[in-house]
Amino acid sequence: MSAMRHLLDLCKRRGFLFQSAEIHGGLRGAYDYGPLGVELKRNVSQEWWNSMVYQRSDVVGIDTAIITPPAVLKTSGHVDQFTDEMVDSRLSKERFRPDKAPELRLDNKGRIPISAPDKKTAKDWEQDIRTQFARGAMITRNGKEILLDVDRLEKDRIVLKPDPKLSSAPSSSPTAESTLHVPYHGYVDPNSNSPFLTESRPFNLMFKTYLDPIDPIDKVITTTIHETQTKSSDLATTRQQVDKTLYPSLTYLRPETAQGVFINYATVQRSHPHLRVPFGIAQIGKSFRNEIRLEHAIFRTPEFEQMELEYFVAPWKASDQFEHWRKIRMDWWRTYARNHDRIRERPHTQDELAHYSSGCVDVEYLFPWGWGEVEGIANRGDFDLTKHSEATGIKLQYTDERLLQDRQQREKATGLKETDPTVLDRERFTPHVVESSCGLNRAMLALMLDAMEVVDEHGTPMPFENDSRETSSAVSSSSSNSDAAIT
């Protein structure tokens, strides 16, 4: 049994984690936290809050709304750019992200092995390949596996060998040749190794919802559908009409907590005038993403919790602050992880960075399936505050009152007006942001896996005491022992 299966079995038996709506068949990617799970989750988040807010004088907390108006996410770029590429498997009909998919795998005889979930499905897939996707190809089936003979691999396609027994598809036939050429873009179905895929297309990850006492679908029926019936209209035009009808009540479930901080920057600054740059605003809350592929239990789910800090700094100190927070966050993880060799930093390459970011580092944990991100630390520059300022006409800047008063006193004493832009720019500027974004659910999963030990010959894991009093201090550090433990 794998470590993940050990852990999930234990979590269900001990009351840490349950499949949501299990008695009704469950919901893909949805999980509920049981009595011990909710205590553990609360303690992980409390340790984060203690270190990021309570133990600092330069950070305050905030709790912003989940339902978000389109204007906010249009300004931040999420409406137009918060997308993943999506591909469908033409055999299994499953969808996946091509950037996460593996390369084509060949067996020791140079054939493509396509793995079906069962023998009946393999038989159906073989028929689909023979009649639709690779007519005339050399195909054999062995139980749940379909084998395709490969003639050669080219840059952007796979050339299959023809079946010499099929006289209807001689190798010299142009029509037959075209069916033996399978487009290949460097990836296959991650579950089956099938190269028979659709073209990739963008897919927006945000969940839409509607604030309206009247069912918005009724509006679509009474307006858009009636209008399209009275005059010819293509699909794109119909879609535009539907979106126009629904737009007045359109809202989104936030895809990240960060935007709630940025739009409240000025409000927090006014209500807490003692905050001087550098200062931070922290938030823990739920976010929602319509993920193409939900996997590894609570690692990737459509509903998840984030623990985020947006730290506002002077532009000329952003790089130093980025390195400062990078160290702070790695130290935090090393405090609670028992196995330090399972925690690492992975700096983003230049082509991975967002266009507005000058630096980003992922904190990764070595999960049973490989390294996976649990936190990201990024230098976001002034992108977010500048965009929201431009969209609203409200200046989201910081004024250093002490520097301003010093300059005014100098000007009064000398009678000369300061014109040096380097001096003026340090008085009033748009802060840059260093962000720490940690996934609470992923942190829980990583810390539980890190604490789990298989202690008997039957493979029974025994990492947690089944006592709510023990679990109430699930993530804690002892004053007599610098190591932290999950109990």
Q: Which H or E element spans position 121?
A: helix 119-128
pLDDT of the residue at 225: 64
CA distance 91 to 93: 6
Cα distances from 142 to residues 84, 113, 123, 158, 226, in angstroms, run 36, 10, 10, 22, 53
- CATH number attached to the domain at 37-82+255-479: 3.30.930.10
The alpha carbon of 171 is separated from its chain's Cα centroid by a whole number of angstroms, namely 46
How confident is the model over 99-154, as pLDDT tens digits?
A: 889 999 999 999 999 999 999 999 999 999 999 999 999 999 999 999 999 999 99
Half-sphere exposure of 65 (CA within 13 A, CB side): 8
- Residues of CATH 3.30.930.10 domain(s) within the chain? 37-82+255-479
Tell me if 62 sits within 8 A of 282, measured CB to CB. yes
Q: Hey, which bits of 154-265 come out as E strands?
A: 157-160, 181-183, 201-204, 207-210, 250-253
Enter the pTM of the model: 0.82
| Nearby residues of 106 by Cβ (< 8 Å), 6 or more positions away | 112, 113, 150
**Total Cβ atoms within 10 A of residue 32:** 12
Q: What is the pLDDT of residue 214?
A: 76
Structure confidence at residue 416 (pLDDT): 78
* Pairing outcome for strands 279-288 and 59-61: parallel
What pLDDT is recorded for position 470?
41
Task: Scan for tokens 């001689």, then name that residue.
Answer: 170
3-class SS at 474?
coil
In order of 255, 295, 363, 457, the CA distances from 453 in angstroms are 35, 23, 23, 12
Low-confidence stretches of the chain (pLDDT < 50) are: 1, 169-172, 174-176, 464-487
